Structure 1
Amino acid sequence: MRLKSQGRYLLIGLFTALVITLAFIGQSQRFFELAWFYLNQTFTGGPEHSLGLADYRAVIQGKPIEGLADVSALTFDPQRQTLFTVTNKHSELVELSLDGTILRRIALVGFGDPEGVEYIRPGTFVISDERHQRLMSVQIDDRTTSLDGATAGQMVLDLGGRRNRGFEGLAFDRARNRLYVANEQSPMSIYEISGFPATGDAPPEIHIVQNPGRDADLFMTDLSSLDFDQRNNHLLALSDQSRLLVELGADHKPVGTLVLRSGFHGLSQTVPQAEGVALDDDGTVYLVSEPNLFYVFRKAGEVGQGSRN
């Protein structure tokens, strides 16, 4: 009887430990918040004005970008109708066609560890340097072949934390001249910056705002990229670790998700390390993953449309 009693207590102890472990994993990976979001979406159908990411399907997936090995970040240039990414091991700003073909490569000198790039206005981009926590404003035209960090407009945000868990994503709200900067982890947060880059000759007046409530509602464990939907004033947040793209509504609450795992949205394989996301004027979602993989997602009713060049 005593052995049976001891065995029973052992099983109870093991079961309790298992429950605690699963609860810890669920909390740390934000599974509970994600499950609650999906349950709520099932009954409410989600907001009317959103991208409707649930209906997106991969039309290009895992296409290697020939000649690149360490892509990070992505942005859409509406004037040129092209994409730009950065590489950090051999620092370059690279222009891509909308089907992931290299159009040109611009050498980056003195940019440290470039991890983000964002289109601001015709010819103006911001590049983030994760290692030194810098934002660098650059100008390019059709003849640009290299950029020198020493001549770039710079803003340093010394926010502490781990140096290689810093600025990973950028997005720009053109209507409000507001730059969003994603801090990857420790802490995972999004900063809103007004006044950079400058729009005139006068010294800019910089304002930095945080929204801890919004950041706490993000059911992901890291931030690897951002983008801004200029039509709906919605922010897109990409997580490499959580394999997830989340759309945030104008009230900063999640309104949609695109799951980057095999079997979802037509993906035959899980996106290995999502590092950059960009949205074009038609709502097409472009994504890059290390080392050099390119993806395109469109709504189910638009998947038959060919990629623009």
Structure 2
Amino acid sequence: MRSLFSIKRVLLAFIVLLVIVLAVAAQQFRLFERVWFNATSASSTDMEAVWLPDYRVSLEAKEIEGLKEDISALTFDPDRRTLFTVTNQNPQLIELSLDGRVLRSIALKGFGDAEAVEYISPNVFVITDERRQLLLKVKIDDSTKRLNADQAEQLSLNVGAGGNKGFEGLAYDSVGKRLYVAKERDPVRILEITGFAENNAKQTYSVHVLDNAKRDKGLFVRDLSSLQFDERTGHLLALSDESRLVLELDVDGKPISTLSLLRGQNGLKKSVPQAEGIAMDDNGVLYLISEPNLFYVFEKEP
């Protein structure tokens, strides 16, 4: 009897421990919030929404030839109708065609750990240095082959821990003149910066950094890899590598739709291995890159 009682106690202790481990894991991966969102979200009734569930992959996991370095971030240039990304190991600004071909490479000198790039206005971009928590505004033209950090306009931000958990994503609202900056994790945060991205030399701007703690707590993702602002709806798209997910946030910062990057979802034959950048063109087509050099296109079904 004592032996049987001991076995029951061990079994009970094991079950309790297993429940605790599963609960901690669920919280770590934000599963409770994600399950609740899936259970309560309905089909889109908002004609102004991007509505990510309607997207399907049209170009999957195309290798970007000529790139051996890990790529990070993505932005659409509406003037050239091309895409730009950055590499961080050997810092470069890379221009890509809309079907994932390398058009040119621009050397980045003194940019440290370049992790994100965002188009601001014709020939003007912002690049982040993750480790030093710097934003660097640069100007390029069709003949630019090299950019020097010491010649760029810089903004230093001291937000939480540095290292490799810093600024991973950028997005720009050209109407509201707001630059969104994503902090990767611990915790995930999205900052709104006004004043820095302005490009009028005749006018002086003061820089303001705003936080939205309520919105950030509602982001049921483990990390943030990239951002995209949709000018048509005023909604923000947030990409998470570890959660294999893209979130659409409405004007109040509330999640309203998702796009899964797992195998079998949204037409994907395989899961996206390490999503690092997302961009949207003026036709609503989504472009996504994954380390080390994979390129994806998602288009909305009629």
**Alignment-mate amino acid for residue 78 of structure 2:** P
Paired residue secondary structure (2:41): helix
Paired residue secondary structure (2:164): helix
Query: Normalized against structure 1, the TM-score is what?
Result: 0.94
Q: Tell me the equivalent position of 1:12.
A: 12
The answer on whether the counterparts of 1:172 and 1:178 sit within 8 Å (CA) in structure 2 is: yes
Deviation at 1:204, TM superposition (A): 2.4
Paired residue secondary structure (1:237): strand
Q: Distance in 2 between matches of 1:31 and 1:300?
A: 28
Query: Normalized against structure 2, the TM-score is what?
Result: 0.96
Pairing of 1:256-275 with structure 2 (within 5 A): 256-275=257-276
Moved more, 199-208 or 28-37: 199-208
Q: Distance in 2 between matches of 1:148 and 1:162?
A: 22
Q: Distance in 1 between matches of 2:198 and 2:230?
A: 22
Q: Tell me the equivalent position of 2:215.
A: 214
Pairing of 1:29-178 with structure 2 (within 5 A): 29-42=29-42, 45=44, 47-68=46-67, 69-178=69-178
Per-residue CA deviations over 1:198-220 (Å, capped at 9, x if unaligned) read: 33224420011000111100010
Q: Distance in 1 between matches of 2:77 and 2:183?
A: 23
The answer on whether the counterparts of 1:161 and 1:187 sit within 8 Å (CA) in structure 2 is: no
The answer on whether the counterparts of 1:162 and 1:186 sit within 8 Å (CA) in structure 2 is: no
The answer on whether the counterparts of 1:153 and 1:197 sit within 8 Å (CA) in structure 2 is: no
Q: Distance in 2 between matches of 1:134 and 1:126?
A: 10
The answer on whether the counterparts of 2:84 and 2:93 sit within 8 Å (CA) in structure 1 is: yes
**Alignment-mate amino acid for residue 60 of structure 1:** L
Deviation at 1:146, TM superposition (A): 1.1
**Alignment-mate amino acid for residue 53 of structure 2:** A
Per-residue CA deviations over 1:161-191 (Å, capped at 9, x if unaligned) read: 1321101000000001100001112231111
Q: Distance in 2 between matches of 1:28 and 1:187?
A: 11
Paired residue secondary structure (1:220): coil
Paired residue secondary structure (1:20): helix
**Alignment-mate amino acid for residue 265 of structure 1:** N
Deviation at 1:14, TM superposition (A): 1.4
Q: Tell me the equivalent position of 1:304.
A: none
Q: Distance in 1 between matches of 2:98 and 2:177?
A: 26
Deviation at 1:45, TM superposition (A): 4.7
Q: Distance in 1 between matches of 2:32 and 2:12?
A: 24
The answer on whether the counterparts of 1:182 and 1:191 sit within 8 Å (CA) in structure 2 is: yes
The answer on whether the counterparts of 1:275 and 1:288 sit within 8 Å (CA) in structure 2 is: yes
Deviation at 1:197, TM superposition (A): 2.2
Pairing of 1:152-301 with structure 2 (within 5 A): 152-201=152-201, 202-301=203-302
The answer on whether the counterparts of 2:132 and 2:162 sit within 8 Å (CA) in structure 1 is: no
Q: Distance in 1 between matches of 2:45 and 2:133?
A: 36
**Alignment-mate amino acid for residue 121 of structure 2:** R
Moved more, 111-120 or 49-58: 49-58
Moved more, 21-30 or 45-54: 45-54
Give ranges in structure 2 of 5+ residues lacking alignment: none
